[in-house]
Amino acid sequence: MKNSDAINVVLKRHGNDGTRLMQILRETQEALGWLSPATLTAIAAGVKWPRSRVESTAGFYSFFHTEPLGRYRVLWSDNITDRMLGNMDLMQAMCEKLWLEPGRVSADGLVSVDTTSCTGMCDQGPAILVNYRAITHMTMERIEQMVELIHNQTPIEKWPVEWFVIEDNIRRADILLTNAMPPGEALRISFARGAADEVETSFSERSWHESMQASDIGASATLDEIKKSALRGRGGAGFTTGLKWEACHNAPGRTRYVVCNADEGEPGTFKDRVLLTRQPDLILEGMTVAAYIIGASKGFVYLRGEYRYLLEPLNAVLAKRRQLGLLGENILGREGFNFDIEVHLGAGAYVCGEESALIESLEGKRGVPRNRPPYPVTNGFLNQPTVVNNVETFASAALIAAKGGDWYRSFGSARSTGTKILSVSGDCERPGIYEYPFGVTVRQVLEECGAHNTQAVQVSGPSGICLNRDEFDRRIAFGDVPTAGAFMIFGQQRDIFEVVRNFVHFFAHESCGFCTPCRVGTTLLKNLVDKIADGNGTRTDIDEIFHLNRLLQTTAHCGLGHTACNPLLYTLEKFRPAYERRLKLLKFVPAFDLDAALSQARQMTGRDDAGAHLETHSEIAQ
């Protein structure tokens, strides 16, 4: 097939709709290998957007390439947990066998190898993506076989199937992960809540519109249950779900949307992946209940690009639900209740987990957080009222819709009701998924996952909090240690500074670049931390970290920038020796290494004697 034909097929599939640009770019790239300048021109013409805007979107996401990167694109997940499992040595070995440098394409244009932000396989690392398909448990043996397969240009479809097996590793299941409700149950019960009152309203003298609303007593009664349950968002911010849905219901708008945030980009988090694998119906049902309550007609699951392999299974579940009358028109025979859901894939951008950036991405644009207010509940997708919730929030809401708010409140604590799924990884015997009622202590989790000699636990990912040994009796709860789900364990043997360094690099890589403090500040922090790592750090550099933190916390545009210094702050407070060990006694050492700058001159003149060197950093220190 000619390139232009391939592009046209994709364009046609998406009705030449520019708001579907993310899907158009991805599918075109899957067909053609990369997005050439001519391809972007053709897509722009197809969706009738200025070419500059199409290039703008394509250039934002890590998983879109506007340069050829080989028929085989190997990306090593670079979370600290992958590092602890030895991913850097393995990647180096792979590069040597392939005769290339990380980040470069092989001379024959066949293959490239690079790193990528955490791919959400921390309990089964070291993990990689090959052409955006996930492979876990990398070993030297697998690398040897893989290099063979690549050299022989064996299509990925013919690679050993067991490489692509993703484990669920459910170690402790509670109400969410043990759910066995038949699909449709929560919806039926929600509808039934209004049945008794419906008769009454149909006799009233209200206008048609009002009676339509009034006949949805079931919807308002179910909203009451959600409110009663005191369910709070599981994506990090912990906003009360019932209030969000109510605000969206009350906002004026033409259409309403329900969006499930399955971007799960926070390093160390993988619970949404397992929920999407094991309880897709519960999640989709939660979204449909939300649609019923707020009056939405369309829903999206925004699935992170790293979970590309889940697209087909999710689409199969959606098809099944349509067959069962749980999606589509007149859901379960309910006249006028029309709602359908579509899965949209992201393309490698952590910031798209921020709800307004996610909506921008859904509209085919760069994933840049919007100015707020207005919030998505009033001005969301295509400027219409939109509810955005985490995967786990929707799953919990479906349970509440079926079993009631009081039942849900019987789990967890008074202020943090229900259960929370933790993604446990790092130094422990049984990494994986643990669902606990809220209020569980850090210590209990450590005991149950088989962690010994634990030095620190990073809860809720790099933007979360780092706990030391004295804090293990604290509880997972909104009032104490809140979490979006990550629980990374670091044993006594780990160098906390290397953990922090990994996180700081992550933020610099993922900053969207919209606002000055985060765009420049995260890179300055990265440079400072690297300077300390190189043994050239001083007191002044530590002061500068605090100074930058004050700036980012107060002036950054979104949560990414606000929290980008957290890993440094917590560990400077609790693990100071990890830094002090590396610092010079001096007040100040420039990061610009004059002597290193002369290395080229030395190479050219073939000299390396003392006279060809400046005073070195270490000499100055003495």
Partner 1 sequence: MSETNTFILDDQEIPFTPGQSVMQAALTAGVFIPHLCYHPEFRPHGSCKLCTVKINGRPATSCTTPAAHGMEVESNTPEILDKRRTLLQMLLVEGNHFCPSCEKSGFCKLQALGYELGVMTPRFNLMYPTRPVDASHPDVLLDFNRCILCELCIRASTEVDGKFVFALSGRGIKKHLVVNAESGRLADTNFSLTDKAAQVCPVGVILPKRKGFAVPYGERHFDDAPISTHVDEFKPVMPGQGGRS
Ligand X SMILES: Cc1cc2nc3c(=O)[nH]c(=O)nc-3n(C[C@H](O)[C@H](O)[C@H](O)COP(=O)(O)O)c2cc1C
CB of 90 to partner 1, least distance (A): 27
Report if residue 518 touches ligand SF4, rule: CB under 6 A: yes
For partner 1, what does the binding mask look like between residues 18 and 57, x meaning CB under 8 A? Answer: -------------------xx-xx--------xxxx-xx-
Contact range with ligand SF4 by CB under 6 A, out of 71-79, 169-177, 306-314, 508-516: 508-516
The answer to whether residues 457 and 467 touch, using CB atoms and an 8 Å cutoff, is yes
The answer to whether residues 399 and 175 touch, using CB atoms and an 8 Å cutoff, is yes
**The residue type at 180:** A
Q: Under rule CB under 6 A, which residues in 555-574 are in contact with ligand X? A: 558-560
For ligand X, what does the binding mask look like between residues 214 and 233, x meaning CB under 6 A? Answer: -------------------x
Phi, psi of 85 (to 5 degrees): -90, 10
Contact range with ligand X by CB under 6 A, out of 58-66, 84-92, 384-392, 564-572: 384-392
The answer to whether residues 117 and 510 touch, using CB atoms and an 8 Å cutoff, is yes
CB of 357 to ligand SF4, least distance (A): 8
**The residue type at 538:** T
Size of the site for partner 1 (CB under 8 A): 46
Q: How far apart are CA 487 and CA 234, in angstroms?
A: 14
The answer to whether residues 59 and 40 touch, using CB atoms and an 8 Å cutoff, is no
For partner 1, what does the binding mask look like between residues 566 and 605, x meaning CB under 8 A? Answer: ------------------------xxx-------------
Contact range with ligand X by CB under 6 A, out of 115-123, 185-193, 247-255, 389-397: 389-397
Any idea which residue has 């209990």 for tokens? Answer: 444
Give the Cα-Cα-Cα angle 468, 418, 295 (nearest 5 degrees).
125
Q: How far apart are CA 90 and CA 360, in angstroms?
A: 37
DSSP per residue, 421-471: EEEEEESSSS-EEEEEETT-BHHHHHHHTT--SEEEEEESSTTSEEEEGGG
With CB under 6 A as the contact rule, the residue among 422, 440, 512, 529 that binds ligand SF4 is 512
With CB under 6 A as the contact rule, the residue among 78, 114, 246, 264 that binds ligand X is 264
Q: Whose Cβ is closer to partner 1: residue 548's or residue 578's?
A: 548
Helix (H) or strand (E) holding 490: strand 486-491
Report if residue 234 touches ligand X, rule: CB under 6 A: yes
Helix (H) or strand (E) holding 186: helix 185-202
The answer to whether residues 266 and 486 touch, using CB atoms and an 8 Å cutoff, is yes
For ligand X, what does the binding mask look like between residues 355 and 374, x meaning CB under 6 A? Answer: x-------------------
Q: How far apart are CA 460 and CA 122, in angstroms?
A: 14
Q: Whose Cβ is closer to partner 1: residue 62's or residue 297's?
A: 62
Q: How far is CA 236 from CA 232, 271, 300, 303, 406, in A?
A: 9, 13, 20, 17, 24
CB of 261 to ligand X, least distance (A): 4
With CB under 8 A as the contact rule, the residue among 138, 556, 568, 578 that binds partner 1 is 556
The answer to whether residues 96 and 88 touch, using CB atoms and an 8 Å cutoff, is no
CB of 370 to partner 1, least distance (A): 9
With CB under 8 A as the contact rule, the residue among 59, 109, 155, 160 that binds partner 1 is 59
CB of 522 to ligand SF4, least distance (A): 7
**The residue type at 390:** N
**Which positions lie near ligand X, rule CB under 6 A?**
233-237, 239, 261, 263-266, 351, 353-355, 388-390, 393, 558-560
**Which positions lie near partner 1, rule CB under 8 A?**
37-38, 40-41, 50-53, 55-56, 58-62, 349, 366, 371, 508-517, 519-524, 527, 547-548, 550-551, 554-557, 590-592
